[in-house]
Amino acid sequence: MAAVGSGGSTATAGPGAVSAGALEPGTSSAAHRRLKYISLAVLVVQNASLILSIRYARTLPGDRFFATTAVVMAEVLKGLTCLLLLFAQKGNVKHLVLFLHEAVLVQYMDTLKLAVPSLIYTLQNNLQYVAISNLPAATFQVTYQLKILTTALFSVLMLNRSLSRLQWASLLLLFTGVAIVQAQQAGGGGPRPLDQNPGVGLAAVVASCLSSGFAGVYFEKILKGSSGSVWLRNLQLGLFGTALGLVGLWWAEGTAVAHRGFFFGYTPAVWGVVLNQAFGGLLVAVVVKYADNILKGFATSLSIVLSTVASIRLFGFHVDPLFALGAGLVIGAVYLYSLPRGAAKAIASASAPTSGPCTHQQPPGQPPPPQLSSHHGDLSTEPFLPKSVLVK
């Protein structure tokens, strides 16, 4: 999928997505390189900080907040933010109202298409709270990379996409690494609080990965070729997400919330989680156009390392050889899967035995063949991105 800016225009995600200043190669390349580093930092920090902050807020002593209310608040804040950004684009209230009337009500079929992925994303957000409440942050971060596997499988089944042999091998490596980490967790890797159930946490993270993979692929399938800015799409998702989140709140914790209050147990740490969920994904949506697939995979790997190190300091997490082996396999699998197909073929050809000089030399006087570049809709892009990025 193409990366859509706030005005709705598309831009290819990858090293070639530069501004009009590209006419000045020296300054533009340096500026683009800085933007890539900034995007890497944002991806790593947002990916790791959300999980760590949820884990921290859910394990604090005292009254525990209702996770369903946090999901609703994040959707409300995200929707209001997108509404303000659209207002800034349109310039006045009249133009904004006319635009929303056309985009949301007149084109109601396009709006209704977002109901299904919004329902799945709301379920996924609630499942993440359940999973992180029952699993160490580092274990969750590693296990949650199964979303790469589920996204790949749903893309093959629903979009008839093909995977390279290297990608299939990396998915097998990924599954093996996650299985090793879960075996370590089931074997009692370090002390755990009495109110945590690793089995429930594993079931929740697997269900979250399945919903994430299906929702991302379904979203791409139904909205392929649809116009609409990233802020409009996130506003529509926020509207459905708020409504569906309130339904889930009423069904799961309605009596308790009515008795104790919507903001029961809210602390500065809880508000930090809500703000991270609401604005973190939107921030990533802005910078992600400057990151290619390899950078996204590298950011995911760094997030695993950062979450593990922070878990040791914050939660007393114990890293044993089994966890290190499983996490290492997952990190390697993420990197291999994120390689563009051109690089994958180069690796395969480099590892193949040769009996003589290369017979595919470029004839003199002819330009080299075009290099394969990863685009924003490539299969290897979506698993590394939060849902706010996947609506372009």
Judged against a pLDDT cut of 90, whether residue 72 lies above it is answered with: yes
What integer best gives the mean pLDDT of the chain?
Answer: 78
Q: How high is the pLDDT of residue 11?
A: 37
Share of the chain above pLDDT 70, in %: 74
All residues at 6 or more sequence positions from 295 whose CB lies less than 8 Å from its CB, including other chains: 36, 39, 40, 43
* Selected residue with higher pLDDT from 375 and 346: 346
Judged against a pLDDT cut of 90, whether residue 83 lies above it is answered with: yes
* Selected residue with higher pLDDT from 358 and 382: 382
Q: How high is the pLDDT of residue 1?
A: 37
pLDDT, tens digit, 9 for 90 and up, residues 139-177: 998 999 999 899 899 989 988 888 888 989 999 999 999
Q: How high is the pLDDT of residue 293?
A: 63
pLDDT, tens digit, 9 for 90 and up, residues 313-341: 888 888 888 899 999 999 999 888 888 76
Q: How high is the pLDDT of residue 377?
A: 45
pLDDT band of residue 52 (cuts 50, 70, 90) is very high
Q: What is the mean pLDDT of residues 129-139?
A: 91
Q: How high is the pLDDT of residue 364?
A: 52
Judged against a pLDDT cut of 90, whether residue 98 lies above it is answered with: yes
Q: What is the mean pLDDT of residues 72-80?
A: 93
CB half-sphere exposure, 159, CA atoms < 13 A: 23
Q: What angle do CA 294, 299, 305 make, to 5 degrees?
A: 130
Judged against a pLDDT cut of 50, whether residue 123 lies above it is answered with: yes
Q: How high is the pLDDT of residue 110?
A: 82
Q: How high is the pLDDT of residue 376?
A: 42
Judged against a pLDDT cut of 90, whether residue 282 lies above it is answered with: no
Q: How high is the pLDDT of residue 209?
A: 92
11 burial level (CB within 10 Å; 0-12, 13-18, 19+): middle
Contact 178, 328 (CB under 8 A): no
Q: How high is the pLDDT of residue 257?
A: 94
pLDDT band of residue 292 (cuts 50, 70, 90) is low
Tokens for 225, please give them.
Answer: 């070729």
- Lowest mean pLDDT segment, chosen from 39-53, 192-206, 209-223, 285-299: 285-299
Judged against a pLDDT cut of 60, whether residue 361 lies above it is answered with: no
Contact 344, 315 (CB under 8 A): no
Distances 305 to 47, 311, 324, 328, 389 between C-alpha atoms, Å: 11, 10, 10, 9, 23
The 3 state secondary structure assigned to the chain is: CCEECCCCCEECCCCCCCCHHHHCHHHHHHHHHHHHHHHHHHHHHHHHHHHHHHHHHHHCCCCCCCHHHHHHHHHHHHHHHHHHHHHHHHCCHHHHHHHHHHHHHHCHHHHHCCHHHHHHHHHHHHHHHHHHHHCCHHHHHHHCCHHHHHHHHHHHHHHCCCCCHHHHHHHHHHHHHHHHHHHHHHCCCCCCCCCCCHHHHHHHHHHHHHHHHHHHHHHHHHHCCCCCCHHHHHHHHHHHHHHHHHHHHHHHHHHHHHHHCCCCCCCHHHHHHHHHHHHHHHHHHHHHHHCCHHHHHHHHHHHHHHHHHHHHHHHCCCCCHHHHHHHHHHHHHHHHHHCCHHHHHHHHHHHCCCCCCCCCCCCCCCCCCCCCCCCCCCCCCHHHCCCCCCCC
Q: How high is the pLDDT of residue 127?
A: 93
Nearest alpha-carbon partner for 259 in 58, 66, 60, 59: 66
218 burial level (CB within 10 Å; 0-12, 13-18, 19+): middle
* N-to-C CA span, the chain: 7
Q: How high is the pLDDT of residue 19?
A: 36
pLDDT band of residue 6 (cuts 50, 70, 90) is very low
Q: How high is the pLDDT of residue 288?
A: 67
Q: What is the mean pLDDT of residues 83-92?
A: 91
**Which residues sit opposite 11 in a β-bridge?**
3
pLDDT, tens digit, 9 for 90 and up, residues 216-254: 888 777 766 666 677 888 888 889 999 999 999 999 999
* Selected residue with higher pLDDT from 22 and 238: 238
Tokens for 105, please give them.
Answer: 């009500």
CA–CA dist 140, 205 (Å, integer) = 7
Return the top range by mean pLDDT from 10-19, 253-262, 335-344. 253-262
Other CB atoms within 10 A of residue 351 CB: 7
pLDDT band of residue 40 (cuts 50, 70, 90) is confident
Exposure string over 182-198, b if 16+ CB within 10 A, otherwise e: bebbeeebeeeeeeeeb
Q: How high is the pLDDT of residue 183?
A: 84
